[in-house]
Amino acid sequence: MENVIEISNLTKNYSSFTLNNVSFTVPKGCIMGLIGANGAGKSTTIKLMLNITRRNEGSVKIFGQDALENEEHIKQNIGVVFDESHFHDTLKASQICKIMSNVYKEWDNELFYQYLKRFKLPVDKKVKTYSRGMKMKLSIAVALSHNPKLLILDEPTSGLDPIVRNEILDIFLEFIEDEEHSILLSSHITSDLERIADYITLINHGEVIFSESKDDLIYNYGIFKGTNHQMKEINKQDFIGIRHTQFGFEALAKDCRKMAAKYPELIHDTAGIEDIMVFFVRGEE
The reply to whether 145 and 253 lie within a common domain is no
3-class secondary-structure state, position 81: strand
The reply to whether 170 and 253 lie within a common domain is no
Return d(Cα 123, Cα 116) in angstroms, integer. 7
237 φ, ψ (degrees, to nearest 5): -70, -15
The reply to whether 53 and 157 lie within a common domain is yes
The reply to whether 164 and 196 lie within a common domain is yes
User: How many other C-beta atoms are found inside a 10 Å radius of the C-beta of residue 7?
Assistant: 24
The reply to whether 211 and 246 lie within a common domain is no
Q: At what angle do helices 109-118 and 93-101 cross, to 10 degrees?
A: 150
The reply to whether 105 and 162 lie within a common domain is yes
Q: What tens digit of pLDDT does each residue of 144-161 get?
A: 999 999 999 998 887 788
The reply to whether 209 and 226 lie within a common domain is no
Return d(Cα 24, Cα 259) in angstroms, integer. 28
Phi-psi region of 48 (alpha: psi -120 to 50; beta: other; left: phi over 0): alpha
Q: Which of 179, 194, 217 is the last residue of a domain?
A: 217
Return d(Cα 17, Cα 278) in angstroms, integer. 21
The reply to whether 153 and 229 lie within a common domain is no
The reply to whether 143 and 50 lie within a common domain is yes
Residues of the chain with pLDDT under 70: 283-285
The reply to whether 272 and 202 lie within a common domain is no
Question: What does the pLDDT read at residue 284?
Answer: 55
Q: Specify the number of domains making up the chain.
A: 2
Do residues 5 and 182 lie in contact, with contact meaning Cβ atoms separated by under 8 Å? yes
The reply to whether 44 and 178 lie within a common domain is yes
Q: Which of 217, 236, 255 is the last residue of a domain?
A: 217
Do residues 274 and 190 lie in contact, with contact meaning Cβ atoms separated by under 8 Å? yes
Q: Which of 200, 217, 234 is the last residue of a domain?
A: 217
Look up residue 126 and give its DSSP letter.
B
Which residue from 46, 267, 202 is spatially nearest to 55, judged by alpha carbons? Answer: 46
Question: What does the pLDDT read at residue 83?
Answer: 80
Question: What does the pLDDT read at residue 283?
Answer: 66
Question: What does the pLDDT read at residue 86?
Answer: 81
Cα Rg of the chain (Å, integer): 21
The reply to whether 135 and 161 lie within a common domain is yes
Return d(Cα 157, Cα 186) in angstroms, integer. 10
Please state whether the predicted TM-score (pTM) of the whole model is above 0.85: yes
Identify the domain containing residue 234 by its residue range: 221-282
Which residue from 253, 212, 220, 218 is spatially nearest to 235, judged by alpha carbons? Answer: 253
Do residues 260 and 268 lie in contact, with contact meaning Cβ atoms separated by under 8 Å? yes
